[in-house]
Structure 1
Amino acid sequence: MAWADLPPDLLGAVIARLPHPGDRARICAACRGWRSAARRRVRHQPPWLVHPDCTFCTTGRDGACFFPRIPGLPDNATCLGAAGAGWLALDCTDDVFRRTPIWDNFSYETRTFVVYARPDVKHRHTYLLHNPFSNVTVPLPELDAIIGHVAETFEVRKVLMRSNPEDLIAVATSNRHYNVILCRPGKGAHVLPLLRVIDVAFLGDDMLYGITSGDELVAFHLGKGVDGRPQVTRFRLVIVNPMAGYYNKHSWSWPADDTTASDYCYEYDGLEKDGNDDESNDEDDEAPYQEKNGNEEEEEADDEAEAANPEDDEEEEEEVDTSFNADDDVSDYEVREGDWELPYEAKDETFTARYLVPSLSGELLLVRHQYELTLDSGSYTNKVEVFKADVMAGRWIPVTAHDDGLGKDEALFLSRSFSKSTRAHGDVEPGLVHYVSGHMDDVLDTRSWSIRKMTFRWPRQRDLADDKWQTWLFPPELVL
């Protein structure tokens, strides 16, 4: 049998094992028969699922896991998540805890994880944007200078491009000093601390929105400073939730009206800090901003008390470097529900993950995925809720079965580090909400407003990675 006469099913199986668009383009150029087979399968490729160790799984009917890692990446790179369509955010570091897959730290004898992140151990980090399809790398020295020397417990929750790597980039972290960072490569950075933001999303050219673990929505008005440096001219809380659970544990409140960024931010232009200074971003150093609240004397007294009690200082450092949530092993992004006064008592656990994502119609959506982690039967979804932001009225509007659900031919792909609304095509059905939390194989079908099984199965290797760090990556469309 000639190569050009291979059966379409066999050609389809071969194409499924060649996920890179360049390889598929070469298949299309081989002959008319191969081009015809590829045209039916590869023009609109479903998203990949990339693991923190930079290996990946393809999705769809022919989904498979690929080892080793994505070619062209630095050896010491960890994938923080997708920063945009076709782009990955990378963290290059010798931080073994961050780069080691979670199950490598599990002891089957003791049934516990033997390696945990430590707030007293810090590492040097270098951040990059990388496009694995064009093999283009863009360094982010502005992030290196601000969060380039951090503890193992420090987390970059999201790195999000507004349009391209040369434009504005938003970074959300777990640290109170650098909660939201805006940077533009070669232009400088702008830092907003103490906002409790766990997820961010651009909407239009001049707005950035952030969501808190209490379902509160923050609106950032974007601008430009001298020489194109990014700025937040003002920000305000547009949706308030006075019943947010963290108010019971944290004495934290918002100003009643708009807040000007000059009272609350720190601007970095690349000249104020030496990026080679190991102590330039030490968590124990003075915070890179000044809060104008007239409490300098109280802060000095606290510093003296901490110096006299080093044990208390160590406890305080751990609280600072971990996420804002009171539970060390659960971030604000994925809140554990219920009463936990008896941690030694074995019981089922309920988690709620939150995702902020713009729809194709330009509306801002909040998706809450609540799932149960049981002792015997694994995980299952309790419910999935979708809300639209009504900024003018200051409230979330539930999207229910009586509404139209998602837009026509629209599907959502949600993960902690990257979420996207996309047109449905091929193996991607319209009206479905996909999520990676909880290692579950179900989706929300907004056409019937029910939880049902996915149309395709995840590859088995997908369950070996920590789903908290898995991210969707959308390959470019192949022009045939």
Structure 2
Amino acid sequence: MAAGDEAGSDSGGDGAGPGQAALQETTQDLQMSFVRMMQTHSPQSWSALPSELAGMVLCRLPSHVDRVRFAAVCHHWRFSRQEHSLPPPLPWLAFPDGTFFGLPRGDGAKESFKLPVSANYCITCGDWLVFSQNDTCFLMNPFSKITLTLPKLSSFCLVDEPVGIINGRDVVDEDMSGPLLQMDTAISLRKVIRCSGLLIAAIVDIGPLCTVAYCQPGSTTWLVSGLGSKGSVIDMMFYEGMLYVIDEFNDLLAINVRQDNDNCKLRVSRIERLLDAAPCVFNLIHGGIS
């Protein structure tokens, strides 16, 4: 009977026997411990950022003003600024004779370089500057003084790319081989990206066509994409081996550009539409269009 009474006391009535009471007490203890831990725990300060990570952040701040602001946060960040060797800061001061000067370094020395004679500045490509000279383009890194030669602006042809776009409209070859692609004109550069040591991508204007073109440093011909025959290319970026392009329809395309193993020439192996923007609907109303 004693055993039965004990068993009944665990399972009968309101169910609050010794076993459940012990569980509730344990849960309450854990909750109180968690509350006390949260009350006594103080979040880490930004000043605790390891010096190695602070150096990585600094290397991504090319502006002298941003570096000064970084060092002004706290003593630890100011020490990190002094501890790391950083590339010369931007901005550069440009003079009419083609000479560029940088701000003085800590030792008082100035970084400077001069453009080649008759070279015309086009656009910026990250740490690279794009120039044209006698119909030839080249990239120059003012920090390392490395220069990469690009094809002439008058030399271009169609790139080898798939006709079909995955999840999107097709690239029709007939549209490009017709009057839309004007072979008797020159390319005008809008944006240039150095994707890798073997790939340069650019947004180009060829007559009424605004599309993407590719080349390899030192090659003689720009390879023009047929994407511009369906809609002008607005912007692009290179990320983790893929070129991402936004067209005038606000569609996001991913382009895989690779070097052919057989002839070492560039070819587009895949074009995929990742985002399909909502169509823009026009309605005729009194006095205009909405």
Measured against the shorter chain, the TM-score band is 0.3 to 0.5
Per chain length, whose mean CA-contact separation is higher, i.e. which structure has more relative contact order (CA < 8 Å, sep 6+)? 1
Bigger-Rg structure (1/2)? 2
- TM-score by length of structure 1 reads 0.29
